[in-house]
Every structure is written in structure tokens, then in C-alpha cells.
């Protein structure tokens, strides 16, 4: 058990998602010594890998567009090289606590390949595990009563086993829409809950917009693309799919919410092969009750409800920064603890967080 090494370092960054990399890039520019620990085997793992086997076209990931850092997924490797970011992959953070005698963060990490344990002692700890970490299934009334299958979209592989089954997809983002489409192709009796306002675009519209965005302001691109979408899809409100007032790319920037890239689900909805349902008010043994009072029977519910971060599982001294359920209180905690990219401010939020954190570290620099 004496099989571990120890290293002193100025800063430990946990997570090599977009936030972790931007923070590390900012620190490297200032010549501040840092290490990025990532349990997966590549950067921005969730963007690259958390799509199921049939479709890999969450385009939203490719046009992740960062004004300050000019980062796009296909440029990610260049970005990583340019700023000399060297994440330690397949390195899982198992336990972190503040050692007040040493005045250091003690980070216990495990190399998932070799099983080797490494301890880091750092002055600062930056959590950049992202908001999307573990499949999130909301606590819905009656969910524990349901006798059918309940899964999260990240565990969905294919619609094959749902042939002739009644399946409810909860969540109308890209994952939800793609899964509904896939299910319907496998002749499952598919319904989808649409509660939030969404923009629906085609892949071509997104490509067009990406070109236009090089030359035109977002507001203008939004207007053009919204017209194009309206022409293509007609009246989505009639299909019970409400649209935001704000344009598709403005929403992406301000709220971090990507437009839904239609892969065919809208046609299926128009044909009545996928049924759109309102919010859920109750879940019973075999049925679900909806906000409009209707009750339908289901064999399975698939939650395409996103991901949730859970640093409180391994971080002992989190109370200055998170509530017990992982809700963020503050981007800056005690003893040099920071959170990057949890702010739900979308794309600019990532850069703003990184800049605020590095500025703060510069000023309190014990390093
Ligand atoms: C995730 O995706 C990357 C890039 O496409 C690939 O190199 C890596 O092996 C994938 N990892 C897993 C676990 O699928
Ligand atoms: C983890 O262990 C493997 C096998 O010994 C080694 O090749 C790899 O470089 C180690 N990873 C890190 C991040 O140190």
C-alpha cells in the first residue's frame, strides 16, 4: 500500500472539459504551474463520446464557438497543443480535502490503467468537472411507483428492444429528439414530453449560420435562420412545440442552450408517429399523468434530461461552494477553491469564469 507518489504543485484543475482547458490555458499563459486531471481518455469527453451508437451528430458540439478563446471542437487538439495543456487522462480523483495544517489541498488520484495512486498537494483547487457529469434523472412525483423500465439517455443504445413497446421520452433537447426518432424507426409507440421552448433547425441551417456568423452580427443571422426554419418546418407551435422569442444563436450564447438539430423527428411528429405530450404531473405503476389531465400507459421512460455534476461525492470541504445536492453557491470558495463553468451562462460563461479565477489567483497568489 506504500505504492504512491506525492507531488507539490501550485494548482490542480479537475476535469478536462472545455472549462478545465480554458482555465489551464489562462494559467499557462501566466506561467502558473498546474495539472489537469481527467478520468476519461480524451478532452471534452462528453461532447465526443456521449452519443449513442446510431447517431453522432450533436452538431451543437461542433459549433461550440467561443469568442474569447476561439475554441471549436475540431480545433480542440490544436488548442490543447497551442496552450501547452497536458491533461492527465484516465486519472480519477477519489478524494480531496483541505489540509489546514499544511495549508494545502490534498488530492488523491488514481491512474485507472495501472491503479497507481498519486497525491497532489496544491495551493489552489479548481473544479471544472462541468455541469454535465453524471446522467441526471429529476425527482418526479411518483417516479418510485413506476413498474416499467426507467433509463437515462446516456444508457440508451438503440430502439431495437423497444419495438411495439410504449415508450415515453422526457426532454426535448437533441438527445431526446434523436432518441424519439430512433425509437419510432424501430416501431415503438413513441411519445415525447416537450416542456421548454426550443428552436429546431436542420444541419444545413446550422452550416449556413456558421458561415454567415463570420460576416454578420448574430441578431441578423438569427433573423435569417429563424425565417428559414419557419419556411421549412411551418408552424411548430401547432405541434405543441413552443419557440423562444430570442433567436437560436442568441439563446445559445445567453443561456448556453443549443438549438435542436432535427434528424427527422419533426416529420414523425407531423405524421403522428411521435406524440408530443405536456409536462408530467404524476407517475403511477404503469401510467403517467400529464399536466393537461390525460393519463397514458408506458412500458419504459427514457430521461433525456441532461447531466449533473456531483463533486460533493469526493470533495470533503465543499460547503463554501456547493450545497449538499451539488447546487453551486459561489464560484469562489474558501482556501483557494474555485469552480469553473458551472455558472449556466453558456459559452461566454466559460471564458468569464476562467478569467475571473486567474485574476483572483494572481491577486491572492501564494504561488
Ligand atoms: C472517445 O472519443 C475519442 C475521440 O473520438 C476516442 O479517441 C476515445 O477512444 C473515445 N473513448 C471512449 C471510451 O469511447
Ligand atoms: C497510467 O499508467 C499507465 C500504465 O503504467 C501509463 O502508461 C500512463 O502514462 C499513466 N497515466 C498517467 C496520467 O500518469
Per-residue pLDDT at 60 = 38
Taking each helix axis from N to C end, the angle separating 18-29 and 346-364, rounded to the nearest 10 degrees, works out to 40
Supply the residue whose CA is at minimum distance from atom 12 of ligand 2: 88
- Residue 88 Cα to ligand 2 midpoint, Å, equals 8
Supply the residue whose CA is at minimum distance from atom 4 of ligand 2: 114
Supply the residue whose CA is at minimum distance from atom 14 of ligand 1: 49
| Distance separating alpha carbons of residues 104 and 123, to the nearest angstrom | 5
- Beta strand 287-290 with 280-283: parallel, antiparallel or unpaired? antiparallel
Contact 31, 24 (CB under 8 A): no
| Distance separating alpha carbons of residues 69 and 350, to the nearest angstrom | 10
Find all residues with CB under 8 Å of 33, minimum gap 6, and list them.
Answer: 9, 10, 11, 367
| Distance separating alpha carbons of residues 140 and 137, to the nearest angstrom | 8
Where b means 16+ CB within 10 Å and e means fewer, 177-213 reads: bbbbbbbbbbebbbbbbbeebbbbbbeebbebbbebb
Going residue by residue through the chain, which has 367 residues, state the pLDDT in tens, using 9 for 90 and above.
457 899 999 999 999 887 888 899 889 988 899 999 998 877 766 555 544 333 333 333 433 333 333 444 445 666 777 778 889 999 999 999 999 999 999 999 999 999 999 999 999 999 998 655 567 888 899 999 999 999 998 888 889 999 999 999 999 988 899 999 999 999 999 999 999 899 999 988 988 888 888 889 989 999 999 999 999 999 999 999 999 999 998 887 777 677 898 989 999 999 999 999 999 999 999 999 999 999 999 999 999 987 776 677 788 888 888 777 666 778 899 999 998 876 666 556 777 888 899 999 988 875 4
What phi-psi label fits residue 270: left (phi over 0), alpha (psi between -120 and 50 degrees) or beta? Answer: alpha
Per-residue pLDDT at 52 = 38
Supply the residue whose CA is at minimum distance from atom 6 of ligand 1: 42
| Distance separating alpha carbons of residues 194 and 235, to the nearest angstrom | 15
Residue from 130, 128, 54 nearest 357 by CA: 128
Contact 106, 96 (CB under 8 A): yes
**Ligand 2 interacting residues, C-beta cut-off 6 A:** 88-89, 91, 111, 113-114
Per-residue pLDDT at 326 = 66
Q: Which one of 49, 58, 61, 62 would you pick to mutate in the ligand 1 pocket, going by the greatest count of ligand atoms within 8 A of its CB?
A: 49
Contact 134, 307 (CB under 8 A): yes
Supply the residue whose CA is at minimum distance from atom 5 of ligand 2: 114
Per-residue pLDDT at 220 = 95
How many other β-carbons are positioned within 10 Å of the β-carbon of residue 275? Answer: 16
Contact 107, 122 (CB under 8 A): yes
Q: List domains and CATH numbers for the chain.
A: 4-133+307-365 (3.50.50.60), 137-303 (3.50.50.60)
Question: Which regions of 132-246 does DSSP assign to beta strands (E)?
Answer: 134-135, 149-152, 166-170, 189-193, 200-201
Per-residue pLDDT at 86 = 83
pTM for the whole structure: 0.63
**Ligand 1 interacting residues, C-beta cut-off 6 A:** 41-42, 48-49
- Residue 143 Cα to ligand 1 midpoint, Å, equals 33
Please give the number of the atom of ligand 2 that sits closest to the Cα of 88: 13
Strand partners, 97: 106
Where b means 16+ CB within 10 Å and e means fewer, 160-174 reads: eebeebbbbbbbbbb
Taking each helix axis from N to C end, the angle separating 218-233 and 248-255, rounded to the nearest 10 degrees, works out to 120
Task: Measure Cα distances from 220 to 210, 215, 235, 315 in Å.
Answer: 12, 10, 21, 45
Please give the number of the atom of ligand 1 that sits closest to the Cα of 48: 2
Per-residue pLDDT at 73 = 47
- Residue 154 Cα to ligand 2 midpoint, Å, equals 27
- Beta strand 189-193 with 91-99: parallel, antiparallel or unpaired? unpaired
What phi-psi label fits residue 164: left (phi over 0), alpha (psi between -120 and 50 degrees) or beta? Answer: left
Contact 306, 132 (CB under 8 A): yes
Per-residue pLDDT at 136 = 82
Name the 3-class secondary structure at 10.
strand
Per-residue pLDDT at 45 = 60
Give 325's DSSP letter. Answer: T
For residue 118, the ligand closest to its alpha carbon is: 2
Amino acid at each position: 500500500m506504500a505504492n504512491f507518489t506525492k507531488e507539490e504543485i501550485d494548482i490542480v484543475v479537475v476535469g478536462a472539459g472545455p472549462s478545465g482547458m480554458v482555465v489551464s490555458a489562462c494559467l499557462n499563459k501566466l506561467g502558473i504551474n498546474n495539472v489537469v486531471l481527467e478520468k476519461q481518455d480524451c478532452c471534452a469527453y462528453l461532447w465526443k463520446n456521449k452519443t449513442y451508437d446510431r447517431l453522432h451528430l450533436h452538431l451543437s458540439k461542433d459549433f461550440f464557438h467561443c469568442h474569447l478563446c476561439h475554441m471549436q471542437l475540431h480545433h480542440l487538439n490544436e488548442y490543447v497543443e497551442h496552450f501547452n495543456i497536458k491533461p492527465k487522462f484516465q486519472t480519477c480523483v477519489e478524494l480531496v480535502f483541505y489540509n489546514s495544517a499544511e495549508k494545502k489541498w490534498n488530492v488523491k488520484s488514481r491512474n485507472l490503467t495501472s491503479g497507481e495512486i498519486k497525491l497532489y498537494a496544491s495551493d489552489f483547487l479548481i473544479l471544472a468537472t462541468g455541469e454535465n457529469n453524471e446522467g441526471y434523472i429529476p425527482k418526479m412525483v411518483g417516479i418510485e411507483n413506476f413498474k416499467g423500465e426507467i433509463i437515462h439517455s446516456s444508457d440508451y443504445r438503440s430502439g431495437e428492444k423497444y419495438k411495439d413497446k410504449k415508450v415515453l421520452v422526457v426532454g426535448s433537447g437533441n438527445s431526446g429528439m434523436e432518441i424519439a426518432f430512433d425509437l419510432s424507426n424501430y416501431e415503438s409507440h413513441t411519445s415525447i414530453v416537450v416542456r421548454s421552448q426550443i428552436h429546431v433547425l436542420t444541419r444545413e441551417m446550422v452550416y449556413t449560420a456558421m458561415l454567415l456568423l463570420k460576416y454578420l452580427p448574430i441578431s441578423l443571422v438569427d433573423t435569417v435562420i429563424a425565417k428559414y426554419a419557419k419556411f421549412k418546418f411551418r408552424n411548430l407551435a401547432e405541434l405543441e412545440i413552443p419557440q423562444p422569442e430570442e433567436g437560436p444563436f442568441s439563446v445559445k450564447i445567453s443561456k448556453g442552450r443549443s438549438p435542436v438539430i432535427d434528424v427527422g423527428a419533426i416529420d414523425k411528429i407531423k405524421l403522428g408517429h411521435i406524440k408530443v405530450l405536456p409536462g408530467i404531473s404524476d407517475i403511477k405503476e404503469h401510467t403517467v399523468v400529464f399536466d393537461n389531465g390525460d393519463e397514458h400507459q408506458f412500458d419504459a421512460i427514457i430521461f433525456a434530461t441532461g447531466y449533473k455534476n456531483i463533486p460533493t461525492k469526493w470533495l470533503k470541504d465543499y460547503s463554501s461552494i456547493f450545497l449538499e445536492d451539488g447546487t453551486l453557491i459561489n464560484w469562489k470558495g474558501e482556501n483557494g477553491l474555485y469552480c469553473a463553468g458551472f455558472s449556466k451562462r453558456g459559452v461566454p460563461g466559460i471564458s468569464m469564469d476562467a478569467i475571473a479565477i486567474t485574476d483572483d489567483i494572481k491577486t491572492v497568489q501564494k504561488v
